[in-house]
Amino acid sequence: MANSLKYSIIYGVINPETSEQISLGIVIIDGDEISVRYSEKKMSTLKVLCGEEEYKFASRVVRSMSFPSVANIEYMTRYSNNLIAMSPIQTVDLEANEKNKKWLYRNYVYAGA
């Protein structure tokens, strides 16, 4: 498809030693448009799983995420700290529309939205 959607999942790393993680958000690439969507509910679980300080740090990072280009996303997929990680960019053959963007979010981040 000419205008397929691309995405990268934003993870909160719960246990770096075992690579345990929880999906917190998603970066959706629609041509030149890059948007970040995240789940407040999923982020609040970090408070319980990791502690208050880790939650504050992770929520600040995720809430402030913005990407001027795909190159910035690609960099972030290679770089991670002990609390935030991102999946490699994936392509899905779906038309780039709001319905399919919501489907990606619900499928990979939070179904309750």
In sequence order, what E strands does 1-113 have?
Answer: 4-15, 20-30, 33-38, 84-86, 90-95
Q: For CA atoms 51, 54, 60, 61, give the dihedral sign.
A: negative
Contacts by 55-61, CB closer than 8 A, 24 or more apart? 57/83, 58/12, 58/24, 58/83, 58/84
Report which DSSP code applies to 104. Answer: H
Q: For CA atoms 58, 111, 22, 94, give the dihedral sign.
A: negative
Confidence (pTM): 0.92
pLDDT of residue 111: 87
pLDDT tens for 11-60 read: 999 988 888 999 999 999 999 999 999 999 999 999 999 899 989 999 99
The helix/strand/coil state of 18 is: coil
Phi, psi of 9 (to 5 degrees): -90, 135
The helix/strand/coil state of 64 is: coil
